Structure 1
Amino acid sequence: MYQNYNNNQLCLSIPLEINIPSNHVAVAISHFVDSIPDKLIYEKAMTSGRPAYNPAMLLKVILFAYTRQNFSGRKIEAMAQENIPTKWLIGDPDTVPSYRTINRFRSSDQMKRLVEAMFLSFRQLLKAQGLIDDSALFIDGTKLLADANKYTFVWRKASERFEGQLDKKVARLYQELVQNKVDLAMSDEAPKTDSKTLEKASEQLTNEIERLDQVIATEPIIPGGSPNKRLRRKFKHDRHLIDSDYLPRKSKYESNNAIFGDRNSFSKTDPDATFMRMKEDAMQNGQLKPGYNLQIATQNQFALYYDINQRPADQRTLIPFLRSMDFQTTPIKYIVADAGYGSEQNYNYIENQLTAQALIPYGMFEKEQTRSYRRDASKIMNWDYDPIKDHYTDEHGIKFHFIREGHRKDKSGFVRNLRTYRALDYDDPEGYYYAHTPGGNLRQININPNWEHHKQQMRERLKDNDETKAIYALRKIEDEPFFGNLKANLKYLRTSVRGIEKVTTEAGIAIMAANLLKLTLKVNVIFRKSIVKKIIVVFRFNISLKTTIILFCVAYVPATT
């Protein structure tokens, strides 16, 4: 026997309301968005034209779509037509926002402000529920594919090489024009090869050609050809070369340099995207692809802060990321990250500016813990140091005395203070051999006291202190599970918009969707555990089966919304 089935339209029942389970993630999204203050959601609406969709409704629909792995505007529109929880969030079965409306709202400045408001409200919610505290903040990064083609790269080195070749050609052209007595209106002895100077040169050639036209029109026929006509032909060729080749190429290189900034590459499809190695490498060939570096700060596997960066490496992304955080409202005692963030500049900022403690190993931390490294007498870390006389002694007994202080500036502009120690000059052959380099100069070593101080602090916190060791051990179960949930479960591997500002907004939507999905699952787990406790109490006191069912239903069904 089968259940009655008939899809005849006359037999379909007409539902008067749309209901979903009260523990559904759509309910959590609705409650969360409704908890955001109205002044942060609603802007001054237009008084004329068609009434706009409610921004709270559009925000709920987009958040729910991202929890269901739908990032396309057309797919979100299809969900609004067919999906029951989406219709419940909209509140009207007949209202279906178009994909154009969804895409415009997702990329708007209003959505950017809404994302900031969502993260602020979410942090306050977690803090009120006791799910986060001021103990530690765990920071890590991953790569996101940009909405750009793979083979649209522009490389800085190639652009600089071709621009240099072009500048040589332009310089030779300027020299020929000067020899032909063309006034380029340049005050400098070395003429510039920028686009503005090329435009002026083209204008001067046009003036010279017009002058020669007048001269040629009045001159008689010259046997063997007119020198003015040959000169005019040369000027026309040079002007055509500037207008059709040199000037467009120079303008392109100048535009590329403005886009590069301090990057080494960008994509023609999305100029804000940088080519970097992705963790999702299907061909296993390390191919560079256009993408963004997503940085998150988590606690209890919830992303509290995030940032989109154009740098492939993590080290120089930490300080800008920390500057974007609100440590006045949510103070933090420890900043925890992996060795990719370990640098003197980052340690200085955390210790001095944030007055927090860094739990970030430096690059050589793990290697220094090995037995072979600790027994290697050639390493400066294992040399003897006399703080009174301020000298080092290596494994051969060669003493290195302080001679001067110096500074070194890296590409980012950070200045390191170095102390230089030089070996003493020994008379005996063995001492002379070990005190000099193969070139015959006395050996020297550079010591950065501030860097050595931070390294010693990291060794004490990550190796000797049990409390900080336990906190650092949590890093592996904080950031990586969130990235796994974001990429493997929500399938958010590639952005749907272009431009760093729009990508930042969309990444915030995806991260908040993952947060709300995680929060819903956590609440449901806690709720199921409470139900099990109630059932244990029922069986312990031998309550009847009917009473058990009633208690179970009362415990399971939350208050109606």
Structure 2
Amino acid sequence: MGRQQPTFKPYNQHQLMLLPPSLEELIPKDHACRVVNDVINKISLEPLNAAYHTTGSSSYHPQMLLKVLVYGYVSNIYSSRKLEAACKESIYFMFLSSMSYPDHNTINRFRGVRLKNALRAVFEQVVELLAVEGFLSIEEVYTDGTKIEASANKYTFVWKKAIATNKEKMKKQLAHIWEYAQSVAASEDNLPDPPDLTTINKEKVQQTVDKLNQVLSGKGNLDKKMRAKLGYVTKHYPANIERYEKQEAILGERNSYSKTDPDATFMRLKEDHMKNGQLKPAYNVQISTSNQFIVNYSIHSNTTDTNTLAEHIEQHENSFGAAPKCITADAGYGSEENYTLLEGKNVTAYVKYGLFDKRQSRNYNSKHPFSADKLFYNAAADHYICPMGQKMRYVGNSRRKTVTGFEQTARLYKAINCQGCPLNGVCHKSKGERIIQVNVNLERLKKQADELLKSEEGIEKRKKRCFDVEPVFGNIKGNHGFRRFMLRGKQKVEIEWGLLAIAQNIRKKAA
């Protein structure tokens, strides 16, 4: 008896269909591409339409391109060439593009040029739509930042310290040659006055070089080394100082930038694959979230979170007409400037300061028994009492400005006599009398922060911050593999992160 043949389902690639299936039938009802389609259909594209010319040949519809681009970021496809291929290979992209096949140049030009002045408005409409549907709150947000590597060469850089060092070398070399010129032409009555090289610029360097050549020209007995130095200085110094001044203009308040992306600053990244804390060109990305939806974002070249909050809040005001009513953030934002800013805007600030967590430790008081905040203050007489019971009297104020120009004022209190005190060396480490600085305004703001953070609502918000804003970065960088920008320049990086923010919100809504 022969072996029984297995039974297979019919398979015929050339079978004709009376009613071929549509893309609508092939895509599940709850698929993310449908959410992208519904959300983009509900928002106004008037800001995007303004980026197109009214004359000339027809263009792909911006609504279609926006859907393709957003769904690409939802599904971890960031390359314009891969998006071009997906429009021909994926039923989800075919559904969104309505069987249109834009090439990678069209997609890239749409992302880098057309969206330049329109994407922020698109993002804001998506946020407001989600707020109306009850998914998020625009008024109560959680703020944090992360550093993401720029699309720049990490070996072509400019450092502010290197420029300062080279300028000092130039000053010393010019001063050295001038001293030699004075010794050579000491007998001449018309010897020019020596230049002031306290600070140097392009004009001063050029004038100094011209004077040196004027004094030393025609002198036949010049030292060969000095003649060579003068030739080098004449040839290179004016061009070098001009280059340094241009670089300093790009640097601004920063310490470094990449030559291939001047907006990117060198920062230490936690996700360094070399595991050696290598500095890389990067951007500081700030976001505010609500229920893990991104409400606001801003891109910065500052390496620290402290100096980004003012600009970030300003962006929130520009987007939604007012600052948030409540903000929760970690100790990276707890500065006098930020507390003052939030107080002035009537924002309830659940923001930690630097020592907040340490002060909650039971061992803090025993480890720092003589710190300034432990000393007794007599408000009526305006003096502190040192650990030995002696008065520390007010002796004046100390003022300093931060890198952002914010002025801080501290009151100084000095001990009367620390010589021979049994606590000398333990109470303080200075050689003379102990002086403490008390920033009255900052201490007042810290006290307000303490009261808010230790309240029931504050404790709840501190707990929620850890699983509201931080997982958003983890999701984008870890789960969706976005650890490096593809575009260069701050303006284009903002477009790229805006697409990521929209994609994050749509993914969250779809979930």
Name which of structure 1's ranges 50-59 and 11-20 shifts more when overlaid on structure 2. 11-20
* Aligned residue among 247, 255, 264 for 1:273: 264
Q: Who is 2:403 aligned against?
A: 411
Please say which structure displays the higher CA radius of gyration. Answer: 1
Corresponding position: 1:113 with 2:117: yes
CA distance, structure 2, for counterparts of residue 432 and residue 129 of structure 1: 64
Amino acid at match of 1:423: A
The answer as to whether partners of 2:386 and 2:415 remain within 8 angstroms in 1 is no
Change (3 A) 1:247 1:439: closer
1:98-177 pair list within 5 angstroms? 98-108=103-113, 110-133=114-137, 136-170=140-174
Paired residue secondary structure (2:101): coil
Superposed displacement of residue 6, structure 1:
4.2
* Aligned residue among 42, 51, 56 for 1:49: 56
Superposed displacement of residue 286, structure 1:
1.0
Q: Who is 1:556 aligned against?
A: none
Superposed displacement of residue 194, structure 1:
3.6
Change (3 A) 1:514 1:448: same
TM-score if structure 1 supplies the norm length?
A: 0.78
Change (3 A) 1:516 1:279: same
CA distance, structure 2, for counterparts of residue 111 and residue 88 of structure 1: 22
CA distance, structure 1, for counterparts of residue 50 and residue 469 of structure 2: 35
Superposed displacement of residue 255, structure 1:
2.4
Paired residue secondary structure (2:95): helix
Q: Who is 1:26 aligned against?
A: 33
The answer as to whether partners of 2:396 and 2:411 remain within 8 angstroms in 1 is yes
The answer as to whether partners of 1:436 and 1:442 remain within 8 angstroms in 2 is no
Change (3 A) 1:3 1:207: farther
Paired residue secondary structure (2:270): coil
The answer as to whether partners of 1:337 and 1:359 remain within 8 angstroms in 2 is yes
Q: Who is 1:2 aligned against?
A: 8
CA distance, structure 2, for counterparts of residue 137 and residue 438 of structure 1: 43
The answer as to whether partners of 1:347 and 1:358 remain within 8 angstroms in 2 is yes
Superposed displacement of residue 163, structure 1:
2.8
Paired residue secondary structure (1:112): coil
Superposed displacement of residue 405, structure 1:
3.4
The answer as to whether partners of 2:306 and 2:332 remain within 8 angstroms in 1 is yes
* Aligned residue among 325, 333, 337 for 1:345: 337
CA distance, structure 1, for counterparts of residue 423 and residue 497 of structure 2: 62
CA offset digits 1:220-274 (Å, max 9, x no partner): xxxxxxx69999x999978964575334433332222122111111112211111
Name which of structure 1's ranges 429-438 and 268-277 shifts more when overlaid on structure 2. 429-438
Change (3 A) 1:7 1:359: same
CA distance, structure 2, for counterparts of residue 383 and residue 119 of structure 1: 51
Superposed displacement of residue 466, structure 1:
0.9
Superposed displacement of residue 281, structure 1:
2.1
Superposed displacement of residue 472, structure 1:
2.2
Paired residue secondary structure (1:107): helix
The answer as to whether partners of 1:396 and 1:434 remain within 8 angstroms in 2 is no
Q: Who is 1:518 aligned against?
A: 508
Superposed displacement of residue 305, structure 1:
0.3
CA distance, structure 2, for counterparts of residue 291 and residue 481 of structure 1: 20
Change (3 A) 1:285 1:246: same
Q: Can you give the 5+ residue segments of structure 1 that lack an aligned partner in the other structure?
A: 213-226, 522-561
1:351-366 pair list within 5 angstroms? 351-352=343-344, 354-366=345-357
Change (3 A) 1:103 1:202: farther
The answer as to whether partners of 1:426 and 1:435 remain within 8 angstroms in 2 is no
CA distance, structure 2, for counterparts of residue 188 and residue 230 of structure 1: 22
The answer as to whether partners of 2:329 and 2:351 remain within 8 angstroms in 1 is yes
The answer as to whether partners of 1:398 and 1:431 remain within 8 angstroms in 2 is no
Q: Who is 2:96 aligned against?
A: 89
CA distance, structure 1, for counterparts of residue 267 and residue 220 of structure 2: 55
Change (3 A) 1:503 1:40: same
The answer as to whether partners of 2:370 and 2:427 remain within 8 angstroms in 1 is no
The answer as to whether partners of 1:435 and 1:443 remain within 8 angstroms in 2 is no
CA offset digits 1:420-470 (Å, max 9, x no partner): 21223489x54896999787633221111111111212222222x112211
* Aligned residue among 432, 450, 455 for 2:446: 455
* Aligned residue among 477, 486, 492 for 2:476: 486
CA distance, structure 1, for counterparts of residue 375 and residue 214 of structure 2: 75
CA offset digits 1:400-433 (Å, max 9, x no partner): 2223334232333221121121223489x54896
Count, aligned residues: 495
Paired residue secondary structure (1:52): coil
TM-align CA RMSD: 3.6
Superposed displacement of residue 275, structure 1:
1.1
Corresponding position: 1:254 with 2:245: yes
CA distance, structure 2, for counterparts of residue 287 and residue 435 of structure 1: 38
The answer as to whether partners of 1:398 and 1:434 remain within 8 angstroms in 2 is no
The answer as to whether partners of 1:42 and 1:55 remain within 8 angstroms in 2 is yes
Change (3 A) 1:172 1:485: same
CA distance, structure 2, for counterparts of residue 302 and residue 261 of structure 1: 34
CA distance, structure 1, for counterparts of residue 55 and residue 140 of structure 2: 50
CA distance, structure 2, for counterparts of residue 299 and residue 293 of structure 1: 20
CA distance, structure 2, for counterparts of residue 243 and residue 71 of structure 1: 51
TM-score if structure 2 supplies the norm length?
A: 0.85
1:67-82 pair list within 5 angstroms? 67-82=74-89
Amino acid at match of 1:112: K
Q: Can you give the 5+ residue segments of structure 2 that lack an aligned partner in the other structure?
A: 1-6, 187-191
Superposed displacement of residue 145, structure 1:
0.9
Name which of structure 1's ranges 435-444 and 118-127 shifts more when overlaid on structure 2. 435-444
Q: Who is 1:323 aligned against?
A: 314
